[in-house]
Chain A
Amino acid sequence: MKPAPFAYHDPSTVDELMGLLAERENARLLAGGQSLMPMLNMRYAMPDHLIDLNGIGDLAGVAETGEAVEIGAMTRQRDLPGSRPAAGRFPILAEALAHVGHFQTRNRGTVGGSLCHLDPSAELPCVAAATDAVLVVRGQDGEREVAMADWPTAYMTPNLAADEALVRIRLPRSAALDGQAFAEFARRHGDFAIVGVAAMLSLDGDTIRRASLAVAGVGPQPVRLAEIEAALAGEQANEATFKAASGEARGIEAMSDAYVSGKYRRRLTGVLVERALAKAAERAREAA
């Protein structure tokens, strides 16, 4: 038995959850547990109260409104690829999820859990950045919305107060471009990515109308390549254009760690940007 002692709570409604969060000090929320449970087992995390979200049915499931796809925070990673509204509009979700851990961890792991854990190399926050996701947070006085760009406040730290909880993720339908692709490099299948790239393109014939590019693994949070996106608009969707974008992407600031140098991460970013753009263009043409 590795975790330090804690009191387990299993609310069945969001209101009950809010009550617990208001009363209990040093509480942690347990979503799928695929990151928090290791942290508890290793005693990196030692909460006094563990509040299990798995019994709150309202937090799971995908809904489509006129403007957006709304993904409940407790939606399991395994359930997204088969979700028509989510993977239909955003097939990049399914492609990115194939890289998230293994099928056994995706059976428990959740979308909201990944977005709150904010591992720098995580795929779902990268896709959320590329798709202009809005995170809906429930607090003691109701809901507030946070743009993905403002969601990470520091290394592995979401914009979330101790008495708040992420309840759903909204992906605006306007952010779903015609061709979408996710490319990453990891040493072994299912390992944490060294670098991952989310790319989306909409084309007018062979001309790029709009582009979206986000990179995981280079810094503490996913990075949108806004300048490259702007430069791509109006260009021909061809190899020369993607090579130029790749060259620009190599200029990204990238961290070094004990295993991988920043230089290698920059190089990898260039390679993956080119691959993901080419794939996205191919898919945009197929969709046309």
Chain B
Amino acid sequence: MENPRHTHRIALTVNGAPVEAEVEDRLHLGDFLRRELSLTGTHLGCEHGVCGACTVMVDGQAVRSCLMLAVQARGRAVTTVEGLAADDGTLSPLQEAFREHHALQCGFCTPGMLTSLTAFLRDNPAPTDREVREAISGNICRCTGYQPIVAAALAAAGAKAAEEEN
């Protein structure tokens, strides 16, 4: 019988660093990041794709890490919330705007909000209020602090637009 333990060896990059690991076939990407790599910034809420807390970027695209197997991330570049700030700890403009606008209360949804909005603002650098709301419609904040999150996203977009004009 081939591979009776049902594992695969995978190599990928996580936040720019190469990673190699032997993973069980049934391990999802979110559990892999948290348990095997101790990257506990990625939060697991519902684990059926509804809450958005576990969102990470795979090859730049925001996806639910609970709905992808670790083995499917073979050869991919994964970015988690830990990978958003610069190496020296300087926050990204979006993270800075979250702090400025108090866009987090308990912080549980924050990693998913940040990864989702990072990908969204890259593809849509000058969004409307409505577009931002639609972009985070798949991210649930149980503190219901949506207004400051939207304000932070719009501020980050505005700051970026201003930077590009100069």
B62, A37: Cβ atoms under 8 Å? no
**Which residues 1-59 in A have Cβ within 8 Å of B in the complex?**
1-8, 10, 30, 33-34, 37-38, 40-42, 50, 52, 54
A189, B68: Cβ atoms under 8 Å? no
In the assembled complex, the Cα of A58 lies from the Cα of B25 at a distance in Å of: 24
The reply to whether the CB of A236 lies closer than 8 angstroms to some CB of chain B is no
Contact status of A37 and B28, CB under 8 A, knowing A104-B63, A188-B137: yes
The reply to whether the CB of A144 lies closer than 8 angstroms to some CB of chain B is no
A105, B138: Cβ atoms under 8 Å? yes
The reply to whether the CB of B80 lies closer than 8 angstroms to some CB of chain A is no
In the assembled complex, the Cα of A4 lies from the Cα of B24 at a distance in Å of: 11
Residues in A whose Cβ lies below 8 Å from that of B137 = 102, 188-190
A33, B71: Cβ atoms under 8 Å? no
B3, A7: Cβ atoms under 8 Å? yes
Helix, strand, loop or mixed for chain B's interface?
Answer: mixed
The reply to whether the CB of B135 lies closer than 8 angstroms to some CB of chain A is yes
| Residue of A40, A107, A190 ringed by the most chain B CB atoms within 10 A | A107
**What is the number of residues of chain A that contact chain B, defined by CB distance less than 8 Å?**
31
Residues in A whose Cβ lies below 8 Å from that of B52 = 102, 104
Residues in A whose Cβ lies below 8 Å from that of B134 = 189
B25, A38: Cβ atoms under 8 Å? no
B68, A41: Cβ atoms under 8 Å? no
Give the Cβ gap from B25 to chain A, nearest Cβ, in Å. 4
Instruction: Please name the residue on chain A nearest to B56 by beta carbon.
Output: A104
B67, A7: Cβ atoms under 8 Å? no
A104, B71: Cβ atoms under 8 Å? no
B55, A104: Cβ atoms under 8 Å? yes
In the assembled complex, the Cα of A246 lies from the Cα of B24 at a distance in Å of: 53
**What is the number of residues of chain B that contact chain A, defined by CB distance less than 8 Å?**
30
The reply to whether the CB of B8 lies closer than 8 angstroms to some CB of chain A is yes
B48, A108: Cβ atoms under 8 Å? no
Contact of A3 among B26, B64, B120, B138 (CB under 8 A): B26
Q: Mark B48-67, 1 if CB is under 8 A from A, else 0.
A: 11001001000001111011
B25, A7: Cβ atoms under 8 Å? yes
The reply to whether the CB of B69 lies closer than 8 angstroms to some CB of chain A is yes
A103, B120: Cβ atoms under 8 Å? yes
Other A-B contacts than A2-B28, A37-B68, A105-B67, 9 sampled, CB-CB below 8 A, are: A6-B6, A7-B3, A7-B6, A10-B71, A37-B66, A38-B48, A103-B135, A104-B138, A108-B68
Q: Which 5 pairs, one residue from A and one from B, show the smallest C-beta to C-beta distance?
A: A102-B138, A38-B48, A8-B25, A37-B67, A3-B26
Chain A to chain B contacts (Cβ below 8 Å), 22 pairs: A1-B24, A3-B26, A5-B6, A33-B72, A34-B67, A37-B28, A37-B48, A37-B69, A38-B47, A38-B49, A41-B66, A54-B72, A78-B61, A102-B138, A104-B55, A104-B62, A104-B138, A105-B67, A107-B63, A108-B67, A189-B137, A190-B137
